Homo-oligomer: A and B are copies of this chain.
Amino acid sequence: MTQRKSFGSDNHAGVHPAIIQAIVDANPGHAVSYGADERTEQVTAALREVFGADEAFLVPNGSGANVLGLSLLLRRHEGVICAETAHIYTDECGAPERLVGTKLLAVPSSDGKLTPEGIAVYLSGRGDDHRSQPGVVAVTQSTELGTCYSLAELRKIADFCRASDLRVYLDGARLANAAAGLDCSLAELAECADVLSFGGTKNGAMGAEALIVMRPGLAADVPYLRKQQAQHTSKMRFVAAQFGALLDDDLWHANAAHANAMARRLAEGVADLGGVDIVHPVQANAVFARLDPRHVAALRQEWYFHVWDEQNSVVRWMAAFDTTEADVDTFLEGIRSAVSR
């Protein structure tokens, strides 16, 4: 495919060699399907332990994990408070509305994060049967803007939610990047949540996400909901193998830490460059930068990345587990050359 590395998305990377090898190793012989195999049992047990979770389930798809998690936490008439930048709000073609039937209650956010104050706005409709009743708060960690909630920020939201009879869903498609960025454990991040997803795909897997159920009493419904929502994989051993490899020797952490470091290297490389403004703190593996539209156009002729906000000429550059220092440096040269025209 493309010769050069893409800075378009961590999804553009392939699969980490150890994960490919784990898939190959999982292949010989027959195994019971739909997750009743030993490998799946071992991996979900390991996930339970890593997260201090009640239960863990594997699904192939990130939107699928989000929809499954939300449907587990919501009563039928309840809505989901989320940042206006949330993936579930903008990037799933209305999956939560269609598949869960819920209303998303968006909160303006300049940094991709929610605050208790932003959440509280929707509590004024409580008890009014004309209003979608807030039931779940969905946070994303790391956020769609490459920022991370600090543990203190997460705790503040969790405390607020518990005091307000709101459950917390955490979209952890890039949870590994947050854990690496904050230098904390996955369990510490999960503490704030009733249910969360733990993404493997953007962190070197082929297609593997986990649904982590923290709050007791919820897990029994998951197998049925997962099947009903068409997120149940028959040859589950291959999803399990991917997570097995990610957990071995904390490969998930190494991958994420490396991607984060490459994003930082990129951000630092443009820091003193006239004509490039970093618009969000680089706390995970994404760099958001403002460039002159002409420079954006020039750069895109040779490099693949997304224009995030056309109006303000903000672009997103993402590093992946396999982005090298040399990749970043070559890209930095390209940027320098583009902005100097």
Point out residues on A near B: beta carbons under 8 Å: 1-6, 8-9, 11-15, 20, 23-24, 26-34, 37-39, 60-64, 67, 71, 75-77, 79, 90-95, 97-99, 101-104, 124, 129-133, 201-202, 206-207, 221, 223-235, 237-238, 304, 310, 320
Contact = CB atoms under 8 A, between A and B. Distances in A.
5 contacts: A1-B37, A76-B225, A77-B224, A77-B225, A124-B310
Contact of A1 (B32, B76, B304): B32
A230 B310 contact: no
B60 A93 contact: no
A116 to B, nearest CB: 17
A236 to B, nearest CB: 9
Given A14-B27, A201-B235, 5 more contacts: A11-B33, A12-B30, A14-B29, A93-B131, A230-B231
A24 B22 CA distance: 11
How many copies the complex holds: the figure is: 4
Nearest to A101: B98
A227 B14 contact: no
A94 B228 contact: yes
B31 A238 contact: no
A30 B15 contact: no
Contacts of A233: 60-61, 207
Contact of A235 (B104, B207, B225): B207
A12 B27 contact: no
Contacts of A26: 14
Contacts of A130: 34, 90-93, 227
Nearest to A322: B30
Contacts of A227: 63, 77, 92-93, 95, 129-130
Contacts of A226: 129
B223 A129 contact: yes
B234 A207 contact: yes
A214 B133 CA distance: 24
Contacts of A228: 76-77, 92-95, 98-99, 132
Contacts of A132: 93-94, 97, 228
A180 B61 CA distance: 32
A229 B95 contact: yes
Contacts of A62: 234
A12 to B, nearest CB: 4
B31 A15 contact: no
A12 B31 contact: yes
A32 to B, nearest CB: 6
Nearest to A233: B207
B31 A2 contact: yes
Given A3-B29, A6-B30, A129-B223, A92 B235 contact: no
B129 A224 contact: yes
